[in-house]
Amino acid sequence: MSARDDYLARIGTLIRDARQHSGLTQSELATELRTSQSAVNRIEKGQQNLTLEMIARIGTALDSEIVSVGTSSGPSHLRVKGGTQLSGAIDVKSSKNAGVALLCASLLNEGTTILRKVARIEEVNRLLEVLSSIGVRPRWLGDEGDLELVVPAQLDLAAMDEAAARRTRSIADAARRPPANGARYASGDTGRAMAHAAGLVTSGLGVRAIAIDAGGWDHHIGLRWNVASRIEELATNLAAFFTDLGPAADRVTLVTMSEFGRRLRENGANGVDHGYGSCVLLMGAGVKGDVSGVFPGLVQRPLGVMA
């Protein structure tokens, strides 16, 4: 085996392990990368040449840094000697998966641990119920998602809330659930979030409301070239979501809304600036399919402030 083949095989193994850790099949990863399952299979076997762009896309899809370049982040090999009390802070990834892992890792610390900017997602809430039942004292600090965890000297494992633990496992299973009924979400964070939401709805956990933030709409520059792809992505994800729900769609109402409106008048950069008007789209249970409200027209107000 040549040095090149050896590197490809080692990178393929890293990608395979990261994919399995993320709970994705080769087919699901292929969908995220907009390639074929056979191509992913070749990559994992070290039989496919890889560009830096493809490695970066794989890392994003798997929420994992496949290859580290440079040494600016510090040493890659450490030798730790015990017997010394440690304190201080450490920078970590802020993804939702990392947040859940850090909650569990906090049990290794004695005393108080503070996690910065923890995502307030269902997995975190359920896991906090479990930790509280065994004696951990959690407390949210401020509005930035900082979380304080006070771990007792002795955990009371016998008092564990088994129902909350089962819900935690069910939520994790829902997150790994593949889309059903042939649903195909667009690649990206919004598609993954909506697939996760469909898993929670169909899991039987009793979820009543889910909020998803889909950014990338503030086009002060190049509106005509950017907004079309965003609308296509949104439409694809909405259609996939209701296909994925299957019979559960009969009890789900979806609302899309924006935090601000846009103007109609184009600015000097082929974009539009903030305005006052906007619209809300509703889909699903209880929606009859109509237009509500009265458009005030463009005559009574300056064109610049109308959306």
Q: Are 144 and 212 within one domain?
A: no
Higher confidence at residue 14 or residue 80? 14
Q: Are 300 and 190 within one domain?
A: yes
Q: Is residue 299 very low, low, confident or very high in pLDDT (cuts 50, 70, 90)?
A: low
Q: For residue 190, which phi and psi values (nearest 5 degrees)?
A: -65, -45
Residue span of the structural domain in which 46 resides: 3-61
Please count the structural domains in the chain. 3
**88/74 Cα distance (integer angstroms):** 17
- Nearest CA among 144, 136, 59 for reference residue 103: 136
Q: Is residue 120 very low, low, confident or very high in pLDDT (cuts 50, 70, 90)?
A: confident
* 283 touches 253 (CB < 8 A): yes
Percent residues over pLDDT 90 in the chain: 17
Alpha carbon 280 to chain centroid, angstroms? 23
- Helix (DSSP H) and strand (DSSP E) numbers for the chain: 9, 7
0.75 surpassed by pTM: no
**256-263 long-range contacts, Cβ below 8 Å, gap at least 24?**
256/280, 256/281, 257/281, 258/217, 261/307, 262/307, 263/303, 263/304, 263/305, 263/306, 263/307
* In a domain? residue 80: no
* 270 touches 223 (CB < 8 A): yes
* In a domain? residue 228: yes
